Amino acid sequence: MQRLRTSTNRLFSLLELVLPTLLNGRQRHPGGSLSRFSIHLRKEMKGDDPYGKQWSTGTWSVEFKHPQLQIARSYTPLPPTAQSCAEDSVDVLRFLITREEGGEISNYLARLRVGDQVQLRGPHARLELSKDITDVVFLAGGTGIAPAMQAAYTLLEAHPNDANSKPRMHIVWANQRREDCLGGVSQDSEENTGMASTRLVRELREMQEKHPDNLKIDYLVDEERTILDQKRLSSITKNTSLVKFEPLRTRIDSRLIIVSGPEGFVNFIAGPKKWSGGKETQGELGGLLGRRNVRDWKIWKL
């Protein structure tokens, strides 16, 4: 994991790397180009937490800027948990990053060393989560787990609902390899849960244990042939009635399916987004959800 502290300029926060570490303990998967790692950013605390409001509003992101190239990319901070607060100070923002061949920003972040500096801008709101929500299914691929954890934190921790009025949330986290979710066992599984776990899985387990009646988490792994297909999706979204898909604005209905992850994952599950008038829009509903003819749910692609 990597820890950074900040000073600010007019447009971006300037962050200094103070401790680098890998999340999975090795640079690359055998035969692959991906490496997942975490970075921690320490921000200056002058008065109230500048990101405090975001945690109670919904999902949000910040931009990392490349120092040589005129490009920036958005990443989603992981929410605070009891474990993260015990291990890090309150002024830390944490991110889960996947490094990929040709990924300018992710490779730049992966190359950071102690004393290097990186620029960050934000926050940028992505999806407001209403206090009227009753049910959420969050389909997360890879690093799409970060906004899933944000949503769970907002709905189950930050919103001032009593225990009887908290929404029900089902997170389905799909990964290509077991090592990316080591120790993650689906709630209905009979597998041994005593195996070693990644920090992220431990934090998910902590959230689940804190909200046993409101949060369910399933882990799917491609190499183990546990995949998100029509049969599994039908089981998750059963007992529904037809509602026309339409883009969401600032508020959402009470039952929501959120899809987040790499572009290919989002396209496979819900169809591609589209650009219109220089802005990214939701596009038509397609993929597994389109063929499923999902009923009584609103759908949002992150």
pLDDT of residue 61: 93
Tell me: the pLDDT tens digits for 123-176? 899 999 988 899 999 999 999 999 999 999 999 988 766 667 899 999 999 999
- What is the end-to-end Cα distance of the chain in Å, rounded? 25
Are residues 162 and 99 both part of a single domain?
no
Are residues 175 and 212 both part of a single domain?
yes
Query: Can you say how many angstroms the Cα of residue 147 is from the centroid of all Cα atoms in its chain?
Result: 3
Are residues 77 and 163 both part of a single domain?
no
pLDDT of residue 243: 42
Domain C-terminal end among 126, 161, 193:
126
> Does residue 20 surpass a pLDDT of 60?
no
Are residues 151 and 293 both part of a single domain?
yes
Q: Assign residue 255 the CATH number of its domain.
A: 3.40.50.80
Q: Which domain holds residue 166?
A: 129-301
Are residues 197 and 91 both part of a single domain?
no
Count of the separate structural domains present in the chain: 2
Are residues 216 and 254 both part of a single domain?
yes
pTM: 0.82
Are residues 70 and 211 both part of a single domain?
no
The sheet that has 135-141: what strands, in order across it? 215-221, 168-175, 135-141, 255-260, 298-301
Query: 22-36, 56-70, 128-142: which range is least confident on average?
Result: 22-36
Nearest to 260 by CA among 301, 227, 289, 218: 301
Domain C-terminal end among 101, 126, 151:
126
